[in-house]
Amino acid sequence: MGNAKRSTLTQKTSIYYLVVLIVLVLSYALSRLPITSQLLKTADLRIYDTILDFDNAFLKNDKLGAYDEICIVDIDEKSISTLGQFSSWPSIFFADLVNILAQDEPLAIGFDVFFTENDSIKGYARERLSQQLVDIPINSDKILDRLSTDTEFAAALAEAGNVFLGMFSSLDSTSTKTIPDKLIDWQVTPKYYLKTNFLHPPIKMLSDAAFGLGFTHIEPDESGVIHDYPLFLKSGNRYYVNFSFQMCLDLLGVKRIESGKACNLYSDEGLIRKLPLCSNGRFYFKFYGKQKSFRYVSFSDVLLNRIPKGFFEDRIILIGSSASGLRDIKTTPLDQNYPGVELHATLIRNVLESTFVHWLNPNLIFIVNLMLMGLLALLVIKTKPLVSIFVYLLLSVIIFIVFFMLYSMQSISLSYTSILMPWLTGFKGLVLSQAHLHNKEKRMVRNAFEHYVSKDVINEIMKGSQSLAPGGEKKTISIMFTDIRSFTTLCERLSPDEITSFVNRYFNLCTEIIVANRGLLDKYIGDAILGLFGAPVEYPAYAMNAVKSAIEIREVAKSLRIELANHPVLSEFNIGVGIATGEVIVGNIGSDRIFNYTGIGDRMNFSSRLESLNKFYLTSIIIDDTTCELVRDSFTCRKLDRVKVKGKKIETDIYEVIDYTSKLNPDNPTMLCYRKYETALALMASHRKQEAISMFNEALQHNPTDNPCKIMIERCQTMDWDAWNGTWQHDNK
């Protein structure tokens, strides 16, 4: 390999890590600067909104129909037209509504409506009406008091027993009220919360009658759009929740909340929900579409008994307004006219169904950035500038598709700019290193291969179409593993000089065969040889060349046996060959000082396992089904068995290589034996025991020395047929 190669690899590694370090540090610094961090956050939200738009368009959420488990009783334009101006609606409307709803036994009822004032006549209006009633003998105060229906509303709330009321906070301090007893302090210390000012709860009569209370605040973020739901609101040193979240907590039986990296909800039985939070502690909505994703019914239709009895049974009911004049219209990523009450419905469905927006771990994002930087380095160093730009743009599109798929399929979101910024700056930085590394890459390739491939292969590599990628690359190749039979016995019976002289001669002959057939001598492993076909230069006939080499090596072993027929030890010389074809990672692998062009992966080990099977079946060359499929037009192969080898879970068919098809007579007794053997195998697979044994015996009549036939007959007679699934497990290497 030489000093030039080691120097090039060290330099490339140094440049790579330097560029990656600069890019990551620069990206981190920009994300922390006040001006750029705000711009990046806004960009994140815009990308997030775009992904939501794509998701809604592709999934066609708006055509799925309304969700029925949560029903919104809508104070709509129709209701206002039918029942009069909303501000004049008496409490009796709501009392009757609750009574009607309660008859159907819904799960819970929540009001996104404020009841902070009595509906009785007070002040100046009361004084003026009292003057007009002075001639009536009945006490005018009693008459005016009877016009208030708050008592009926409170009675309806108490009777229903599952109604939640909303309240709000404002800067208006003119009407300071005490905090109701039913507003629960959850005793948490969240990372993110809304700060309240002066509280405006429902009137005491209604607060006491309601089952639960909560706020109604959902505010837009810095982009002017509502993305998240405030789980907590702080008043003094206490933390409260919105009424819709309180409904969820009560429906789930939550007794305790812990807020950290996630908001954990605990019942008496333990953790029941884990609400994911983004890095700044916010809980993002998982939107189901544009407005009207939930079932809406008109307030007036309910009040006037136009809805069938039982319609609200076992549903969660929210009362709110979609009327634009009541100013409860919000802007969401999917809709600029989204009723505020539907945001509360979305939160309830999110929590009860555990449909959350999850957040990618920042540590994982860092790892992804490292991987992407590595990918960019490979792209820039490996390809020409125009090609790298094209591929970079294509990969950029793929990255956005991955962002979309993460959200669409797994509801996973992330800080998109934390990946896109290094991706953009990293490409620019790595492109600058391309010219510097190009010439040294050429020299490294020549130095790396000149000792173990033929010169014509080196010349093909040096044309520029084939080059080494740092860290290796995936290729589909054929791996040939050869091994000397009973090598330990040979070593024990021969002197060191004799064994090394013979092995060197054998290795030299085998190496010439591998190189002549465009193979790569990977390494010598004791008495074994590992050869790769199809790397580093790709060519179509790699599997053919591997099998051709195996047959020629088998002939070498045969000629050596004949030559040494009178030798007391080497006359027994024999070899086994295994060939596997598949995808492996090939490249310069090792340390900075000592390395080798080799392959790693499952198929590398599998070729060794195939070679070992020759000892079981008493054959010379065994290949896997992938190799057989590629060479069957030129070579005759006999299917030996269907096996699982030690350390592998995958079942595979294995084949014995006989010879070139052109050299064989199909009517030869040996060939007839092989065909009947395969027929017998098929009968075994069908669990036709006796027929299989008979067919194996017929095969032996054509070739009495065929060892696989004998092995299979013994297997048929001894194995447990009920437990056999058609695959033979080999537990020895």
Position 269 scores a pLDDT of 92
So what's the pLDDT on residue 465? 45
In a domain, 470, yes or no: yes
Same-domain check for residues 32 and 112: no
Q: Does residue 393 lie in a domain region?
A: yes
Alpha carbons 9 and 39: distance in angstroms, whole number:
39
pLDDT along the chain (733 residues), means of 10: 48 66 77 77 91 84 75 94 87 93 96 85 48 55 60 93 93 74 93 90 93 94 92 93 95 94 94 93 93 93 94 95 85 92 96 94 86 81 80 91 92 90 81 64 60 58 52 89 92 91 94 91 92 90 97 96 92 94 88 75 93 95 97 96 87 95 92 95 94 95 95 94 91 76
Q: In what helix (H) or strand (E) does residue 521 lie, and over which residues does it extend?
A: strand 519-525
Residue 456 domain-assigned (yes or no):
no
* 401/543 same-domain check: no
Q: How far apart are CA 158 and CA 181, in angstroms?
A: 15
Domain boundary among 387, 420, 437: 437
Q: How wide is the angle at C-alpha 43 spanned by C-alphas 40 and 47, nearest 5°?
A: 140
* Token output for 130: 């009292």
* 119 and 206 part of one domain: yes
Whether 609 and 536 map to the same domain: the answer is yes
The packing angle between helices 340-353 and 243-252, to 10°, is 20
Q: Please indicate, yes or no, whether residues 337 and 401 belong to a single structural domain of this protein.
A: no
Cβ neighbours for 676, distance < 8 A, ≥ 6 positions apart:
695, 696, 698, 699, 702
What per-residue confidence (pLDDT) applies to 2? Answer: 42
Q: So what's the pLDDT on residue 30?
A: 76
Question: 376: helix, coil or strand?
Answer: helix
Instruction: Evaluate whether residue 313 is within a structural domain.
Output: yes
**Cα–Cα distance, 164 to 43 (Å, whole number):** 38
535 and 387 in a single domain? The answer is no
Which pair of structure tokens corresponds to residue 530? 């590992």
How confident is the model at residue 426, as a pLDDT?
80
Last residue of a domain, one of 661, 677, 712: 661
Residue 12, pLDDT score: 61
Same domain for 553 and 588, yes or no, is yes
Map tokens 């090609």 to a residue: 387
User: 649 with 689, same domain?
Assistant: no
**Is residue 261 included in any domain, yes or no?**
no
Give the domain extent around 408.
2-59+360-437
Residues 37 and 72 in one domain: no
- Same-domain check for residues 101 and 225: yes
Are 74 and 178 contained in the same domain? yes
In a domain, 448, yes or no: no
* Inside any domain, residue 453: no
User: Is there a domain that residue 455 lies in?
Assistant: no
Q: What is the pTM of this model?
A: 0.58
**Domain boundary residue, one of 643, 661, 679:** 661
Considering the domain architecture, whether residues 99 and 194 belong to the same structural domain is answered as: yes
Q: How many domains does the chain have?
A: 4
